[in-house]
Structure 1
């Protein structure tokens, strides 16, 4: 607005005066006219209009009013010209990106800009102007409380949902998940753990945009020099829940894909030896080596998976150093290029039948012969709790972890191990107090059922074949 002496008051970016203005119907009425933006260039024109308006009100001269109307049209044309020039201004373009399209016309409303700046979406738009780089993260998690890794699961929490909460909280995520070129290596199921899961996505970077990009994409070019970069491991581990940790990070090229760039995946399955015949299990497990059709060793997804041939490069059964009450902990190692849904758990379930003497090692050969066994026999999978995604191997990927982040990570894992060992000690104490000793008689519950006898796999009811499942799907569609 203008004082009576012509000086500006209020918002320095707004000039206004009382005069003839158009209403919504297009008629000229008395009101306030103004210009939002840089008032300096139009100061003389506005003062001239004010003087004409003053003469018009004093003399009520129709000719002067007509002149005023003409000058207002000239000012509107000049205003449009200046707005066109502002559109080409770099600072104006950045302001539009920061404030968004809804900001137009809101500056004249007191307090609206401050409220806009507090909106989460606006903060996200501010993040778009930071440098960013494509990064691979190595992730470990204890899967007991999670409904799988992928956030597409129908239940919460998932490992992926917790990861993205941490990424948003630390402002490392650039834009939305869909804009981050996100990919994951493995999609572990409910209860399955990992110490080598790998994901890749665009993250905020402290490094300047390389000249090779010409500043267009805002992405940092892959470079061996990472001095001054964000300590992704330390930053994320500070906000992640105790059962999820980032183990390392590595800059990767933009064509990297955590799933399709993976060369091999290795799983470990832990189990107590008890009375299992390890030699028989090894003999059976070695039959998995090489390329086979594993449709009888998985949960079939006929709607999405049409090729069930997979290659197993490594199978081994080895003891660990862990013992408990005379029982030793062993582990099955299986490495392959890719795995089907629940494939490892199905393989282990049949191996346990062999180890207990319920099935011959040759049953593996029979089940792998899909020309002979067209339908998978019905059997329960092995438990998901002892299954661990051990590693995901890539070409020329070396994960990094700073000394500070490494020390904090080590201290955290040591503390978690101690907590779980204390819990195990408590359960062991309960076991000693609840289970009768050898000198105490046990009265069996009269309603208890006898343990069901084993039905040979090849004599059991079977699931529908792949062809039958496809035919059913096609009939529905």
Structure 2
């Protein structure tokens, strides 16, 4: 036979359970009072963090990933009173799904637009893109990947202002200090898609320009050897070394380019340690200070014609 429970006993058990829950709730509140999570979030996202709505969408592996949804009318202008510092970020990305690096092509997605979305979400961007004194090392085309893209801009700093005030640029931290600074790499990567990663950062002087301060750029083009004549390709490639007029090896951009003279300081074709079904993966390398629009693609295309026997290794530049 089942045990009979009177109404009085049932009410008493409920009251006891309510007291247990109240005690547990009080314990949790006490523990939360000693938690510094909110302080860390205000350090990362600014003093107005409490006004933002926080959601926790699920990742594919079941873990939750915190995302901050800006309240309506949100602007980075309110961050202008924060100290800031000029930094260079080293970025890598897998370019297969992107319409190039630059957001100016107005084709989405682009690597640059994803980076600035992350900077705005994390509230590291002080003001807008114009105010950040932004520069980039180069613009890769659709489908091109990079392991060493460099961008430079002003980001919010946790360090105290160093007493510099140059009018329109505002106040900023200029020392080469790292201790106590925001972990820019971790904060930005938390909001970036998986095919874009920030590898590192360093403080740079305000006259640094990611494009014009660059000493050299190196491009690699990977290909399967198949039946290509590698020796002929090497012979043709060495003729590209040095300074030449490369107008026949690029996509013309007469509105922005005033000279087509470029210098190739290094050329190499070598095998990698990757092979598949008897076919080995090779890599073509070019290094120079600057390249024209589609110059690398055009040079590689000519080398392939030479490797297929459709052009002479003595092809003229």
Which structure is higher in strand share?
2
CA deviations on 1:381-405 (whole Å, 9 max, x unpaired) are xxxxxxxxxxxxxxxxxxxxxxxxx
> Could you tell me which residue of structure 1 aligns to residue 85 of structure 2?
133
State whether structure 2 residue 193 is matched by structure 1 residue 241: yes
Contact persistence 2:76–2:120 (CA under 8 A) = no
CA deviations on 1:33-62 (whole Å, 9 max, x unpaired) are xxxxxxxxxxxxxxxxxxxxxxxxxxxxxx
Deviation of 1:301 (Å):
1.0
* Equivalent in 293, 312, 315 of residue 267 of structure 2: 315
Deviation of 1:225 (Å):
2.2
Q: Distance in 2 between matches of 1:251 and 1:191?
A: 30
> Could you tell me which residue of structure 2 aligns to residue 217 of structure 1?
170
Q: Distance in 2 between matches of 1:177 and 1:129?
A: 17
> Could you tell me which residue of structure 2 aligns to residue 296 of structure 1?
248
- Residue pairs, 1:231-310, within 5 angstroms: 231-310=183-262
Deviation of 1:129 (Å):
1.1
Which structure is higher in helix share?
1
Runs of 4+ in 1 over 4 A off after TM superposition: 212-216
Greater relative contact order structure (CA < 8 Å, 6+ sep): 2
Structure with the greater alpha carbon radius of gyration: 1
> Could you tell me which residue of structure 1 aligns to residue 104 of structure 2?
152
CA deviations on 1:396-433 (whole Å, 9 max, x unpaired) are xxxxxxxxxxxxxxxxxxxxxxxxxxxxxxxxxxxxxx
CA deviations on 1:38-91 (whole Å, 9 max, x unpaired) are xxxxxxxxxxxxxxxxxxxxxxxxxxxxxxxxxxxxxxxxxxxxxxxxxxxxxx
Deviation of 1:212 (Å):
4.9
TM-score (norm 2): 0.75
Q: Distance in 2 between matches of 1:126 and 1:120?
A: 11
Deviation of 1:277 (Å):
1.1
CA deviations on 1:161-209 (whole Å, 9 max, x unpaired) are 0000000000100010111000111111111111111110000011111
Number of equivalenced pairs: 248
Deviation of 1:119 (Å):
5.0
Q: Distance in 1 between matches of 2:77 and 2:296?
A: 44
- Structure 2 spans left out of the alignment, 5+ residues: 1-46, 48-69
Match of 2:272, SS? strand
Q: Distance in 2 between matches of 1:131 and 1:225?
A: 14
Match of 2:82, SS? coil
State whether structure 2 residue 278 is matched by structure 1 residue 332: no
Contact persistence 2:163–2:171 (CA under 8 A) = no
> Could you tell me which residue of structure 2 aligns to residue 12 of structure 1?
none
State whether structure 2 residue 123 is matched by structure 1 residue 193: no
- Structure 1 spans left out of the alignment, 5+ residues: 1-97, 99-116, 369-477
CA deviations on 1:253-273 (whole Å, 9 max, x unpaired) are 000011111111000000001
> Could you tell me which residue of structure 2 aligns to residue 353 of structure 1?
305
Contact persistence 2:92–2:146 (CA under 8 A) = yes
- Change beyond 3 A, Cα 1:218–1:212: closer
Match of 2:171, SS? coil
Q: Distance in 2 between matches of 1:210 and 1:358?
A: 63
* Equivalent in 175, 195, 203 of residue 127 of structure 2: 175
Deviation of 1:155 (Å):
1.3
CA deviations on 1:107-146 (whole Å, 9 max, x unpaired) are xxxxxxxxxx96544x523311111000111111111111
TM-score (norm 1): 0.50
